[in-house]
Amino acid sequence: MPRAWRRRKKDRFPLRARQQTPANVTLPTEQPNPASTEIDALGISEILRTIQAQDAAVPAAVASELPNISKAVEAVVRALRRGGRLIYVGAGTSGRLGVMDAAECPPTFGISTKTVQAVIAGGDRALTRAVENAEDDADAGRRDMATRKVGPRDVVVGLAASGRTPYTIAALRYARSRRAATIAITCNPGSPITREARISIVPATGAEVVAGSTRMKAALAQKMVLHMISTAAMIRLGHVYRGYMVGVRPSNNKLIERACAIIEEITGVDHSIAARTLRQANKDVKLAVTMLRTGRDRSAAARLLVRARGNLRAIP
């Protein structure tokens, strides 16, 4: 074979091979999706049907992980009962999902903003714009956990659709070194993050409609898992009673009306009594319900609630 031809082959083909087989091409979430290879040639209705059909497969992927989600809820309940914290950590879309769930817990369940927290790579700036290089900063992941003094009473949930995010993996590894309970949520089975967590939740959502765009099915799966974990944990901790959010913080007129409606439904009193008792209870729905059901004044009802650890089912 002529030397010039050997050089041309050496120059061309190995380079092409390297370009076509990047390390992440083996990740299911990065694969092209056969269902959407012609999506850019479709009309709007067909595009939407394709996306919806793919999204419809996500609940089954999440359902397959219910045993692991249950273990995660048990770990969160244990941590919060002993005064620990639930801390979400992630980058990009995964990080924003954690921030959203953490932000919604205090007004929904009446807990402290310190009880459920979220840490996102790149800090607050990453909430409204992409800070893509932040996910590669493993030192920042360790530093952010150290800053929050993560310890044995806490549970840290690492979110990474790919399961390979250096920032999140480092944060989980640090949390584990501090004897915190660790949970990984990813959409790629066997990915590195699963080796850093005691509990791994892996809804295998597969290829996205837009290859690699894990803001789609993978994000939907992560959102489902997060609200299952936080809601189930809060139910077990007594912040929900008979399906009502009795821990709600009525901070505006809409929520005050909702709180009154909850009190009316649980106790059977009319709106005026519910509103008056809610005011006497300083807008604490559980306290107002306890006052009405037991006939106790505010102080006595508050003592009952403390003994019941805030759980209305434990009050006769």
Residues in the chain: 316
- Contact in structure between 66 and 242 (CB atoms under 8 Å): no
Residue 205, both tokens: 């959502």
Rounded Cα–Cα distance for residues 5 and 17 (Å):
18
- Contact in structure between 203 and 55 (CB atoms under 8 Å): no
Candidates 57, 83, 68; CA nearest to 229 is 68
Rounded Cα–Cα distance for residues 304 and 60 (Å):
42
- Contact in structure between 294 and 301 (CB atoms under 8 Å): yes
Query: Which residue in this structure is represented by tokens 């091409």?
Result: 25
Neighbours of 262 (CB within 10 A): 24
**Active-site entry in 135, 196, 257, 264:** 135
**Active-site entry in 104, 132, 257, 264:** 104
Instruction: List Cβ neighbours of 171 (8 Å cut-off, separation of 6 or more).
Output: 89, 119, 141, 142, 144, 145, 156, 158
Neighbours of 12 (CB within 10 A): 10
- Strand 199-201 relative to strand 181-185: parallel, antiparallel, unpaired? parallel
Q: For 90, list phi and psi in degrees, rounded to 5.
A: -170, 180
- Contact in structure between 242 and 251 (CB atoms under 8 Å): no
Whether 104 is catalytic is yes
Whether 65 is catalytic is no
User: Taking every pair of C-alpha atoms in the chain, what is the biggest distance, in angstroms?
Assistant: 100
Rounded Cα–Cα distance for residues 222 and 243 (Å):
23
Name 182's bridge partners.
156
Gap between the terminal Cα atoms of the chain: 92
* Residues taking part in catalysis: 104, 135
